Amino acid sequence: MNDAQLRWQCRRGMRELDILLTNYFENDYLQASEDQKQAFRELLALPDPDLIGYLLGGQSPPEAALANVVKQIRNRPQA
């Protein structure tokens, strides 16, 4: 999947998710390790209710790599 496709997948139709995912993609994704990039791609493949729970609801994914990326996204300063 190329960067344009990933950027498009960051758009979920819910403003809060869009902001969180797009900010991470634009500011952290390119510098991330290959494992972190893979985890972010896996995160984007999840259904919106799961993303909402993880990014906005304080839940944590059971997979350590996904949980790490979720933590990075949550802790990222928002503009």
pLDDT of residue 3: 87
Per-residue pLDDT reduced to its tens digit, 13-31: 999 999 999 999 999 999 9
Q: Where are the beta strands (DSSP E) in the chain?
A: none
* pTM beyond 0.75, yes or no: yes
Q: For the beta carbon of residue 63, count every other beta carbon within 10 angstroms.
A: 13
pLDDT of residue 76: 85
Structural domains for the chain: 3-75 (1.10.150.250)
- Judged on CB neighbours under 10 Å (0-12, 13-18, 19+), 79 is exposed
Per-residue pLDDT reduced to its tens digit, 41-52: 999 999 999 999
Q: What is the dihedral of CA 2, 67, 75, 40, to 10 degrees?
A: 0
> What's the average model confidence in pLDDT over 60-70?
96
